[in-house]
Amino acid sequence: MAESPEPRSFTRISLERGAEVLVGDRAPFTAEIANLSMSGMLLKTEQPLEPGGTCKISIPLSENRELRIEALADIVRTIPGGFAIQFSKVLGLESYNHLRRLLLYNAKDPENLEQEFKAHSGIH
């Protein structure tokens, strides 16, 4: 009998929003967020990326793009039409707070998500 995968630390939410991705010296590109959590996200794009690499992610929150969530991330896996990242560092308290609020606003069960935040108070 196969073991079941380890449960995720954070709830993922579906989100239809673009994210800007910067990988090394490549030109920045936009990918569509498929799902998002406090620890990472799945992005839809046809841009080829390899697991093991790193990137910088920027999620604009306003029309003028002044409000944004920024993070450094590791590319952990690729799938046909996309890739998954794990945040290595959310850049700044403002980005962290924006990410937290975005998740709470879009969560089906905000109370459960709030409990996850409390259980992982040491994340940054």
Tell me the C-alpha distance between 100 and 5, whole Å. Answer: 25
Predicted confidence (pLDDT) per residue in 8-55, tens digit: 567 888 988 999 999 999 999 999 999 999 999 999 999 878 899 999
* Model pLDDT, residue 66: 83
Quote the pTM value: 0.83
Predicted confidence (pLDDT) per residue in 77-108, tens digit: 999 999 999 999 999 999 999 999 999 988 88
Q: How many residues does the chain have?
A: 124
Go through the domains of the chain in sequence order and give each one's CATH number. 13-109 (2.40.10.220)
Convert 49-86 to b/e letters by CB count within 10 Å (16 or more is b). Answer: beeeeebbbbbbeeeeeeebbbbebebeeeeeebbbbe
